[in-house]
Amino acid sequence: MKIKDEDIYLWYGNNAIEICGMLHVLAMLEEKIQNVRTINVSDITYNTGKRNEYTPRIVGELTPERLGQFIGIKQSMDSSRYSSLMSLWNQLKRENSNLRVYNDNKVKSVREDYFDEMILRYTCKKFMYSARTVGEFIGKAESYVSDSFIFWRIIELIKNGKVSYRGNLGVMSELEIKKA
């Protein structure tokens, strides 16, 4: 809150985690929005039209060499945009959901088991390390979901009898799973 007239850059991608983080910070910066610039890393697509076309889903997917390309796409915050974003933030806080996803260009609250069907799709019928299922899921998912969340859902699927396991239940790299 000691920020005076410095410019503030908030970087995010088209994913619920970073958008919610940005909304939280914006709520704290209410009186300083004239200094805020946002940069959406998902606004640039690399290798357009090629087999390896790629759009970053999270800021962490950028290499440091590419960071400079994004300064040109910064957006200034105005009162109308701020008001719209704070409306979304207040709605999300009221819903108080444990899981939010980025879908159809917006953040939505969903049930915790939202990804279970997709997790099961990438779970083999023979024992494989759970890290492989997690990696398959993350690689194929449209929107970003953390590996720790997917692993937690695997543990819940084990508890619900939908997945069998052997090995260390608390360590992703030591846990082998298969469809029950």
pLDDT tens digits, residue range 30-87?
777 888 999 999 999 998 889 888 889 999 999 889 888 898 899 999 999 999 999 9
**Is residue 3 very low, low, confident or very high in pLDDT (cuts 50, 70, 90)?**
confident
Q: Report the percentage of the chain scoring pLDDT > 70.
A: 99
Type of residue found at 69 = Q
Instruction: Report d(CA 123, CA 178) in Å as an integer.
Output: 6
Q: Across residues 15-30, what is the average pLDDT?
A: 93
Please give the model's pTM, rounded to 2 decimal places: 0.86
**Is residue 1 very low, low, confident or very high in pLDDT (cuts 50, 70, 90)?**
low
Cβ neighbours of residue 55 closer than 8 Å, sequence gap 6 or more: 14, 42, 44, 45, 46
